[in-house]
Amino acid sequence: MKEIVTTFDILISTLNSYEDDWNIYLKNYDFNEYDICLIASAQEDLDEIKGFKYIFGIYVLKDIVDNLYQQNPQFTTKDALKATKFYYQTDAFIDLGIKSSGYE
C-alpha cells in the first residue's frame, strides 16, 4: 500500500494527481487547512492506518470540489474545507445559496 502524508490544503490543491480509488484518513476532524491527513492507495478497506481514521475516498472529495466549482469557480481552500466538513457531517453537498451555520 502506498501512503502519502500531507496537509488538507495541499491535498485540495493536488487533488487531481490522485487516482479515484485512493482513500483519505484524518487524525482529527477539525477540517482546517493545516490538518494532517494520510492518503493511501485503496488496496484494502481499512478503518484506520497509523492512528489516522478513514473519512472517505478521493473520488468523494473530487465530487465535493466539483460541486463547489460548479457553484463558484473562484472558490478558496477555506470554501473547499467548509464544503468537505458539511459533506462529512450531513452526507450532502453544500448549497452556497443556503446559509450553512454550524459548518464554518
Compute φ and ψ for 37, nearest 5 degrees.
-130, 155
When pLDDT is averaged across residues 37-64 and rounded to a whole number, the result is: 89
DSSP 27: S
Decide if 70 contacts 44 (C-beta within 8 A): no
Joined grid coordinates for residue 40: 493511501
pLDDT band at 1 (very low <50, low <70, confident <90, very high): confident
Reported as a single tens digit per residue, the pLDDT across 59-96 is 999 999 999 999 999 999 999 999 999 999 999 999 98
